[in-house]
Amino acid sequence: MLKSQLSIDLDPVYSRRYDLRFIFVFLLFIIGLLVFAGHLVLLQFLQSSHLASLAEKQQNHLIEIEPVRGAIYDRRLRPMAFNVAAYSLFANPKMMKPEDKRKAIYHLSELLELDPAFIQERLNRNKYFVWIKRKLSVDAAKQIRELKIRGLEFKRESRRHYPNGELASHIIGFSSVDNEGLEGMELVYNSMLKGKPGQMYTLRDARHNELMIEKDIILPTNGSSMMLTIDETIQYIAEHALRAAFTKHHAKSASIIVMDVKTGEILAMANQPTYNLEHAASSNIESRTNRVVSFVYEPGSVFKVITAAAALEEGVFTEQDKVFCENGSYKVANNILHDHHPHGTLTFREVFEMSSNIGVTKIAQKLTPGTFYKYAKRFRFGTKTGIDLKGEVNGLLKPPSVWSKTSIGAIPIGQEVTVTPLQMLGAMAAIANGGAYMQPYIVKTIKDNNEKIVKSVEPKILDHVISPETARRVTEILVGVTEKGTGKAALIKGMRVAGKTGTSQKVVDGKYSHSQFFASFCGFAPADNPRLAAIVVVEEPRPSYFGGTVAAPVFKEVIENSLKYLDVSGDSLEVSIR
């Protein structure tokens, strides 16, 4: 029995089968080992750099550190724009369960006033990071944190804050959520205000949770700060008066500028309609347009001051020379020119006090087109003032070579010529400043984040457009306009005021309208030692449309209150604007 069993165990066929199985298993093991070894070699030598890069990206997270945008101040260092702490909400949809997403959609749509469909679309993305809403207030961020919704996180940033809302909106402008200037000073000096971002690498785990372990950090360079020439108080005075007139006269638009005649500094600049800088996104382009540099109009009788200055400077007329004003009707080529009130013989001075179109045309005819054009160019009409604001336009001043036969009866009285309010004010301020035309400007200094001055603007004389003596004589004529002529509504008690009214027809479809006008007043005070010049332009006032009744009262209110604020009186000779 034992022998029989032994013969079975040693059966050659059985032994061969056993050996084949062993060899098969061994070969499988060897093949598997070679495959794993080959894959290991592939990973180690051919894909090591790529895999190491992936691992580093998973573990290292680059965070951009936002710089603080530079603040904007008025001339007395009162803040007009600065950054405040804010938190931007983002989500990690891959970490969120369906119930987390439902909870987020329900609460965030109410807290952030967002469309639930918008939030749902964001949370359904197959990403580790999606923005929900940028630049939230500290209170809003606190409310969201209290919800304790998995997958919602915050990034600390800052947002632009404009403490005065509408005040000086057309000067300051605004910036985007990404710290880029879009309008006004925010745009013009964007590269200096925004600074340079820094960056920081932090470690995070496999679930993308921040471990708050810093590897490398480059600190941001905060933006430069800016001090404007604007005075917040005078800006408020100007905006308050302009808004009241804009509403009272049912106007389409209105603009005002206040300038220091000695330096060219802009102390106030405003337009209606306007907008709130805190809600700039909801404004329209009409309300954001800075009309004082971007819109042109025919100035009408205010432009007559150029004719007066040219005639006196050239010695063609004296103040007492007589001019026959044709009793209100005068033919120039094939055009009949009229005065609002018929006049007979007036002195040169009275022609401007009464704003006689016929008298001014006769004076211009003696000057000749070439001489008048020379002075208009000298007063820088048809040329940008060069103020540091975006959107300034040239206006239109035609050379005599393209004048028609009737242009001599139109351009000297403010027709067939277009100006910006700033150009007209610059010319009037030159007369107030003894003939010295000052460069208008709106930025005084810019300092970097170390308080080092990187830009400083000083008063600059661009040209001496007329002699001081001629400027004095023109000033006396302009005082007569406010005391005896069309500008009586601009008078300030206890002070002599110089200025000129303007009432000009709008051009509609190529023709002068008989129902749409520009009412304006431009002047300065005190006339004996000018400190402030201002211009007021009101578009399409109703029912009254004369410059003397619509614009002059605004000038009076603004200049009177501004001079009181600056402690300047009619007999105060040496008061500087600080």
User: What positions carry a catalytic annotation?
Assistant: 301
For residue 529, give the DSSP letter.
S
Total residue count of the chain as it appears in this document: 578
φ and ψ at 10, to 5 degrees? -100, 15
Q: Tell me the two tokens of residue 88.
A: 């931007």
Integer Cα distance of 318 and 347 in angstroms: 9
Q: Which residues of 19-56 are buried (b: 16+ CB within 10 A; e: fewer)?
A: eeeeeeeeeeeeeeeeeeeeeeeeeeeeeeeeeeeeee
Residue partners of 325: CB distance under 8 A and separation at least 6 = 339, 342, 343, 344, 345, 346, 351, 356, 358, 359, 362
DSSP string, 268-317: EEEEES---GGGGGG--HHHH--HHHH--B--GGGGHHHHHHHHHHHTS-
Q: Which secondary structure element, helix H or strand E, spans residue 537, and what is its range?
A: strand 532-539
Q: Strands 198-204, 210-218: parallel, antiparallel or unpaired by DSSP?
A: antiparallel
Helices 468-483 and 304-314, interaxial angle, to 10°?
140
Measure Cα distances from 216 to 54, 78, 208, 212, 219 in Å. Answer: 19, 38, 18, 12, 10
Total H helices, total E strands in the chain? 20, 21
Helices 468-483 and 421-432, interaxial angle, to 10°?
110
For residue 44, give the DSSP letter.
I
Residue partners of 545: CB distance under 8 A and separation at least 6 = 503, 517, 519
Contact 432, 535 (CB under 8 A): no
- Pick from 12, 551, 10: nearest CA to 301: 551
Measure Cα distances from 515 to 5, 44, 244, 518 in Å. Answer: 131, 86, 22, 10
Measure Cα distances from 349 to 306, 308, 342, 359, 400 in Å. Answer: 14, 9, 16, 10, 26
- Pick from 144, 128, 127: nearest CA to 86: 144
If you search the block for the tokens 């807290």, which residue do you land on? 111
Contact 238, 558 (CB under 8 A): yes
Q: Compute how many other C-beta atoms are within 10 angstroms of the C-beta atom of residue 458.
A: 8
Contact 257, 535 (CB under 8 A): yes
